[in-house]
Chains A and B, each alone.
Chain A
């Protein structure tokens, strides 16, 4: 459809593509070669985990390795809450009685929550977490996904359509007035991508007066305004378009989540990511505000899986297949303004 560098995604019909306008995800979209990721997911799943013969996603050594665990294995090994933790009439009691966790999320966010076109399973860090939470409450990873958009997330929590939202959902004080946030369970931040030949852009201040591309439905655009107010912002729909804009000279730089940018660089030696992330994006789990026990319960569960290493295993099985290095340390529960 579109001759983008990462066009393989469109070929498989997954990823944002033109449909992204309908289900705009404000947050990071791990759009890098989503098809490759999905394929890797399938292979890992089929291979029973840990086969050293699997191809390296991203095509370069050191760019993330096949995980020793699959998402399914991580979920299978996840803990179940003691019966005493589930007080009668509470949010978790309702979920357990229903036997299914109603989740608000997306099915097209690579590395976080994307439906595998072959198996039909949701794959990614958010998907794994919601399955683990369902298992923790109910005893089995039974979830039902409702698609949410940036515009509907708060409403669907408030009116009880969903029990919880897992959608690369950044915790902000404004949103915290409408919903409760458990977490943060993941922290991310914006970085800068430039052509490998660019020498004079190393930090956000260098972007002032430059033309900078970013995704129109990401908060990176806002961060950019804060850190480089005189930058001229070009908003595009997708990662691939932003990358093309930099390569074709329409933009001097591309600002987005560092993880995504690292993925872009891995597949293209003409590009580089400069400096360290200059923002912090704490992702939280959206919960109803009317039952404070829910937030307490989910926070406690997060602490459990942070402590027993399940969280790190899930990171390895999902984001770790695309981003290099060891799992980061989990964030501190309650550290974000609004959590």
Chain B
């Protein structure tokens, strides 16, 4: 496999960056996405509008365009963060919309009676959401959320286009040096498959363990 095998460590470090980006991005997306869902199901109309608008806007812009805007546009507005931070934030802002859709589907999967029972014992909207609805919704969402996470992992490769030295960035660099696109990109692909398979397997297990019996 040519000279490329001598650079496994270099690629592995790229995979590390990919994972860091993905975990940070997903964590942000998870928090923001859940918040967006709460906004979209809450009784306060302006919040619902803002939540819906956010999702519609962000879901309809290609992530790459968004990333380039973020990296090269914000500095003109006086905000310059590192490329890594920029991409992590972009991933979070972008994938929040996917988390939001997953959480909404999860909430819809919780029987209406659960919410009524929560309200009937005097819980406020926030209490019933926080202690009754969301905890049950999240259990049905393990698989959809894992899919979102896989989406974040794969999309983090766009960072290569804005100078982030993650797995694809490093793969391109090796390719540039050795002119061997097939083995380098095969290695990179193997890295991604490894991560996504692990996530899918883990999600399957967690899903089984967490499932709510009805």
Contact = CB atoms under 8 A, between A and B. Distances in A.
Interface of A: 1-4, 18, 21, 26, 150-151, 174-175, 213, 216-217, 219, 221-222, 234-237, 241, 244-245, 248-250
A174 B83 contact: no
A88 B172 CA distance: 44
Contact of B80 (A4, A18, A234, A250): A250
B169 A235 contact: yes
A16 B50 CA distance: 36
B73 interface: yes
B163 A213 contact: yes
A286 B181 CA distance: 19
22 contacts: A2-B68, A2-B72, A3-B69, A3-B72, A3-B76, A18-B62, A18-B65, A26-B176, A150-B179, A213-B163, A216-B176, A221-B176, A222-B177, A236-B161, A236-B162, A236-B163, A237-B161, A237-B162, A241-B72, A241-B162, A249-B80, A250-B75
Contact of A21 (B72, B161, B179): B161
Interface of B: 62, 64-65, 68-69, 71-73, 75-76, 80, 83, 160-163, 165, 169, 172-173, 176-177, 179, 181-182
Given A18-B161, A237-B162, A241-B162, 11 more contacts: A2-B68, A18-B65, A216-B160, A217-B172, A219-B176, A235-B172, A235-B173, A241-B72, A241-B163, A244-B72, A249-B75
Given A2-B65, A213-B163, A241-B162, A248 B169 contact: no
Contact of B169 (A175, A216, A241): A216
A18 B72 contact: no
A84 B124 CA distance: 95
A-B residue pairs, 7 tightest by C-beta: A248-B75, A234-B163, A151-B181, A244-B72, A237-B161, A2-B68, A236-B163
B188 to A, nearest CB: 14
Contacts of B80: 248-250
A1 B68 CA distance: 10
Contacts of B176: 26, 216-217, 219, 221-222
B87 to A, nearest CB: 13
B83 A250 contact: yes
A150 B62 CA distance: 26
A150 B76 CA distance: 34
A313 B61 CA distance: 45
A244 B73 CA distance: 9
B77 to A, nearest CB: 11
Contacts of B75: 244, 248-250
Contacts of A235: 160, 163, 165, 169, 172-173
Contacts of B64: 18
Contact of B76 (A216, A234, A248): A248
A213 B72 CA distance: 13
A174 B163 contact: no
Nearest to B81: A250
Contacts of B177: 222
Centre residue among A235, A236, A244, A245 by max chain B CB count within 10 A: A235
A255 B62 CA distance: 29
Nearest to B172: A216
A322 to B, nearest CB: 23
Nearest to A3: B73
Contacts of B68: 2, 241
Contacts of A217: 172, 176
Residue of A26, A217, A248 ringed by the most chain B CB atoms within 10 A: A248
Nearest to B169: A235
A4 B75 CA distance: 12
Nearest to B182: A151
Interface centre among B65, B75, B161 (most CB of A within 10 A): B161
